[in-house]
Amino acid sequence: MIQTSRIQTLCEAPPRNEADYVLYWMQQSQRAVFNPALEIAVEEANARDLPVLVGFGLTARYPEANARHYAFLLQGLQDVASRLAERGIGFVVRLGEPPDVALELSRRGAIVVCDRGYLKPQVAWRRTLAIAAEVRVLQVEGDAVVPVEVASTKHEFAARTIRPKIQRRMDEFIEPLEPRPLRRRWAGPTPAGLSLRETAPVLQALGVDNAVPPVKRFTGGYGEARRRLDAFLEDGFSRYGAQRGKPEAAAASHMSPYLHYGHISPVEIALAVRAAAHAQSEDRTSYLEELIVRRELAINHVAFEPAYDSYAAVPEWARKTLAAHALDPRPHLYTPDEFEAGATHDRYWNAAMLEMRATGYMHNHLRMYWGKKVLEWSARPEQAFETLLRLNNRWFLDGRDANSFMNVGWIFGLHDRPWGPQPVFGTVRSMGRNTFRKFDADAYVRVVEALAAHEGHSGRLAAGAV
């Protein structure tokens, strides 16, 4: 079922009586499976005896996007194209600003259905279409388990404040979603658009930054996301509760890039986790906490904090204590370029940076240490914030996400509380040598070196002190 609280009317204009199709403007939910926006479009089309056209606007101007991000995105769109064709749904990808593409395609549409994004560019795109559209526009929220305003109508202080609100409502939203039968299949040619047979020509046409290349470790698309999820539930999930904090233990699901691009539904993941045979209640509880509570705390943050992408989003108490300690002597100082190159004295920090640069991923436990050390080894906290956000959004496949902005903010005290005072950090939480007593750091280095070699990065990390 599709809950009515997932649906918002962005434009009240009446449907168009003389139309060729119902348009689903796809941007955030880049999948043809378990996609409530797509199924609402099918329902609207069936009610009018029309086919469905799915349109996607591919812009080269999305902030900080590069060849790594676009290659993964295009792989996902290839998956979408094949699955939509099987259902008899038209699909067109056009180069241009997404709302402009949607507006042009809407001129022959009876109604427009779109999915929901939470970041500033995504919100602005939908607002632009809603103002200019001449037909009704429905927005369907499919990439949060509990719709954001259902969970809370304000900026939440921490996980402990949003958790009970989400847990009270989440069962009503963790429901299967069956594909609707389509009365009228797409017939004839689709509107002109880009060919997705090969990604290289599209990347060339986009003219994006090639200094951050695609990776071999992750392939985009629903099919690959589901394969990884099934493999995780069969193996790593049974160790998740006990070993999820150990980067070398292979107990992570690696779903974050796929969730970021909407290649898989968080509701589908939650249903699979609940049904998994090889797990204890601790594993399920721990995983659903990360998938739903923590992830939707991040969505709440970007939805209700206008300054989420700047240092101003750091809580006032944290900014004050960091300012009071801004001139404290640093044990080490590095420039943003030295951080990006992984050229610090710390072998384990350098390994984390290498994993990020080479594969587009870093284990969550290392992300916390990685971020705290950038704060400790930067001349000013504001500079550290800028460095972290830039590296995060440039190199991570799941960068430029609500989680990205929340996680960087957490390094500086967001969603946290004051701790005992220390140099540099003041009362903001720090992380130090004890981090590496919780897992086998040398094993992690070996794993990273092997992953980097597979990506074509030669050489071994030099030995160094922590």
pLDDT tens-digit readout, 110-129: 999 999 999 999 999 999 99
8 Å CB contact between 68 and 75: no
Rounded mean pLDDT of the chain?
Answer: 94
Strand partners, 7: 140
Q: What is the pLDDT of residue 249?
A: 62
Q: Are strands 7-11 and 137-140 parallel, antiparallel or unpaired?
A: antiparallel
Domain stops at, among 201, 230, 256: 201
Domain stops at, among 242, 277, 304: 304
Q: What is the pLDDT of residue 463?
A: 61
Say if residue 166 is in the same domain as residue 34. Answer: yes
Is there a domain that residue 209 lies in? no
Per-residue confidence at 279, pLDDT binned at 50, 70, 90? confident
Is there a domain that residue 434 lies in? yes
Is there a domain that residue 174 lies in? yes
Per-residue confidence at 459, pLDDT binned at 50, 70, 90? low
Is pLDDT of 15 > 90? no
CA 154 – CA 151 distance, rounded (Å): 9
Say if residue 345 is in the same domain as residue 441. Answer: yes
Domain stops at, among 304, 329, 361: 304
Say if residue 353 is in the same domain as residue 450. Answer: yes
Q: What is the pLDDT of residue 413?
A: 98
pLDDT tens-digit readout, 74-111: 999 999 999 999 999 999 999 999 999 999 999 999 99
**CATH, residue 334:** 1.10.579.10
Say if residue 363 is in the same domain as residue 277. Answer: no
Query: How many Cβ atoms from other residues are within 10 Å of residue 226's Cβ?
Result: 19
Say if residue 296 is in the same domain as residue 161. Answer: no
Per-residue confidence at 457, pLDDT binned at 50, 70, 90? confident
Say if residue 391 is in the same domain as residue 341. Answer: yes
8 Å CB contact between 59 and 187: no
pLDDT tens-digit readout, 401-431: 999 999 999 999 999 999 999 999 999 999 9
pLDDT tens-digit readout, 182-213: 999 999 889 999 999 999 999 998 999 899 99
Say if residue 101 is in the same domain as residue 181. Answer: yes
Say if residue 286 is in the same domain as residue 323. Answer: no
Say if residue 141 is in the same domain as residue 262. Answer: no
Say if residue 248 is in the same domain as residue 368. Answer: no
Q: Burial level of 433, CB count in 10 A (0-12/13-18/19+)?
A: exposed
8 Å CB contact between 267 and 145: yes
The CA-to-CA distance between both ends of the chain, in Å, stands at 52
**CATH, residue 244:** 1.25.40.80
- Domain of residue 107, residue span: 4-201
Is there a domain that residue 361 lies in? yes
Is there a domain that residue 29 lies in? yes
8 Å CB contact between 90 and 186: yes
Is pLDDT of 438 > 90? no
Say if residue 337 is in the same domain as residue 384. Answer: yes
Is there a domain that residue 284 lies in? yes
Q: Listing from the earlier edge strand, what are the strands of the sheet with 21-25? A: 7-11, 137-140, 109-115, 21-25, 52-58, 90-95
Q: What is the pLDDT of residue 353?
A: 97
Q: What is the pLDDT of residue 125?
A: 98
8 Å CB contact between 352 and 370: yes
Is there a domain that residue 213 lies in? no
Is there a domain that residue 334 lies in? yes
Q: What is the pLDDT of residue 76?
A: 98
**CATH, residue 86:** 3.40.50.620
Q: What is the pLDDT of residue 464?
A: 55
Domains of the chain: total:
3
Closest CA to 133 of 159, 158, 114, 161: 114
pLDDT tens-digit readout, 353-404: 999 999 999 988 899 999 999 999 999 999 999 999 999 999 999 999 999 9
Say if residue 316 is in the same domain as residue 289. Answer: no
Q: What is the pLDDT of residue 462?
A: 67
